[in-house]
Structure 1
Amino acid sequence: MMNTGYIKDQTTLEKICVYLSGCTYIAIDTEFIRERYYYSRLGIIQVASEEVCTIIDAQEVKDLSCFFDLLINPSITKVFHSCKEDVSIFYSLFQKVPGPIFDTQIAAALTGYEEQMSYGKLVKSITGVNLGKNETYTNWLQRPLTDKQIQYALDDVHYLPDVYFHLVKLLKEMGRYEWALEEFERLEEEENYHPKEIESQFKMLNSNNIRGKTRNILIALLIWREEKARHFDRIRKDIVKDEALITIARKCPSSLQELKLIPGLFPKFIKQYGEELLEVIKKGKQQKKSIKIPQKIREIPEGATSLLTAFIKKKASEENIAQGIIARKDDIEKFISHYLYGTKSDTTLMKGWRKEFIAKELEQIINGEVAIKFSPGNKQISLLRIRE
Structure 2
Amino acid sequence: MEYQLITEQGALDTFVDAISKAKVLAIDTEFMRRRTLYPEIALLQVFDGQHLALIDPLAELDFSTLWALLQKPEVLKVLHSPSEDIEVFQNFAGFVPTPLFDTQFALQLLGSGNCMGFAAMVNARLGIEIDKSESRTNWLQRPLRESQLTYAAADVAHLLPCFEQIVEEINAKGWFDIVIAESQLISQKRAFSTPDELLYRDVKGAWQLSPRDLAALRELAMWRREKAQRKNLALNFIVKEVNMVEIAKRRPSSLNSMRNIPGVDAMEVNRSGREMLACIERAKKLSDEQLPPRVMRLMDYRGYKQAAKEIKQKITAVSKTTHIPADVFASKKQINQLISWNWKLTDDERQILMAPDILQPWRSEYLSEALVKWLPGAQK
TM-score exceeds 0.5:
yes
Decide whether aligned partners of structure 1 residues 158 and 9 sit closer, same or farther in structure 2, where only a CA change above 3 A counts. Answer: same
Give the whole-Å Cα distance in 2 for the aligned partners of 1:215 and 1:283. 12
Which of 178, 192, 209 is the matching residue for 2:190?
192
Partner residue in 1 for 2:67: 68
User: Which of 34-43 and 281-290 deviates more?
Assistant: 281-290
In 1: Cα distance, 2:194 partner to 2:294 partner: 13
Distance in 2 separating the partners of 1:187 and 1:248: 34
Opposite residue 283 of structure 1, the aligned amino acid is: R
The structure with more radius of gyration: 1
**CA–CA separation in structure 2 for the residues paired with 1:268 and 1:355:** 48
Aligned ranges for residues 90-129 of structure 1 at < 5 Å? Answer: 90-129=89-128
1:241/1:264 contact within 8 Å kept: no
Change (3 A) 1:201 1:68: farther
Moved more, 56-65 or 160-169: 56-65
1:202 aligns with 2:201: yes
TM-score by length of 1: 0.79
Which residue identity lines up with residue 135 of structure 2 in the other structure?
T
1:157 positional shift = 0.5
Q: Which residue of structure 2 lines up, in the alignment, with residue 88 of structure 1?
A: 87
CA RMSD of aligned residues (A): 3.5
SS at match of 2:34: coil
User: What whole-Å deviation, never above 9, does each CA across 1:46-100 have from its counterpart, x for those lacking one?
Assistant: 1111311121112224543332222222221111111111011111123322211
SS, match of residue 92 in structure 2: helix
1:33 maps to 2:32? yes
User: Residue 326 of structure 1 aligns to which amino acid in structure 2?
Assistant: F
Trace 1:205-244 onto structure 2 (pairs within 5 A): 206-244=205-243
Aligned partner letter, 2:22: C
Match in the other structure for 1:163: 162
Cα pair distance change 1:210/1:125, threshold 3 Å: same
What's the counterpart of residue 8 of structure 2?
Answer: 9
TM-superposed deviation, 1:188: 4.3
1:324 matched to 2:327? The reply is yes
C-alpha deviation, 1:156, in angstroms: 0.7
Equivalents in 2 of 1:248, 1:61: separation in Å?
45
TM-score by length of 2: 0.81
State the partner residue of 1:290.
291
Q: Is the 8 A contact 1:101 1:188 kept in 2?
A: no
- Contact 2:83–2:187 (Cα < 8 Å) also in 1: no
- What SS does structure 2 have at the residue aligned with 1:26? strand
Shift in Å, 1:236: 2.6
Identity %: 27
Q: In structure 2, do the counterparts of structure 1 residues 184 and 39 end up closer, same or farther at CA, with 3 Å as the change threshold?
A: closer
Q: Gaps spanning 5+ residues in structure 2: where?
A: 374-380
SS at the partner of 1:115?
coil
Distance across 1 between alignment mates of 2:339 and 2:268: 48
Which segment is superposed worse, 173-182 or 157-166? 173-182
Q: What's the CA shift string for 1:317-376, capped at 9, x where partnerless? A: 7865443211112443566789999x9894544565545656656779xxxxxxxxxxxx
Counterpart Cα distance in 2 of 1:334 and 1:266: 33
Pairing of 1:236-275 with structure 2 (within 5 A): 236-263=235-262, 270=269, 273-275=272-274
Tell whether the 8 Å contact from 1:90 to 1:96 is kept in structure 2 after alignment.
yes
Would the aligned equivalents of 2:47 and 2:157 in 1 still touch at CA under 8 Å? yes
* AA matched with 1:193: A
Distance across 2 between alignment mates of 1:333 and 1:260? 37
- The letter of the residue matching 1:194 is F
Shift of residue 39, structure 1, vs aligned partner:
1.6
Answer yes or no: is the 8 Å Cα contact 2:341–2:356 preserved in 1.
no
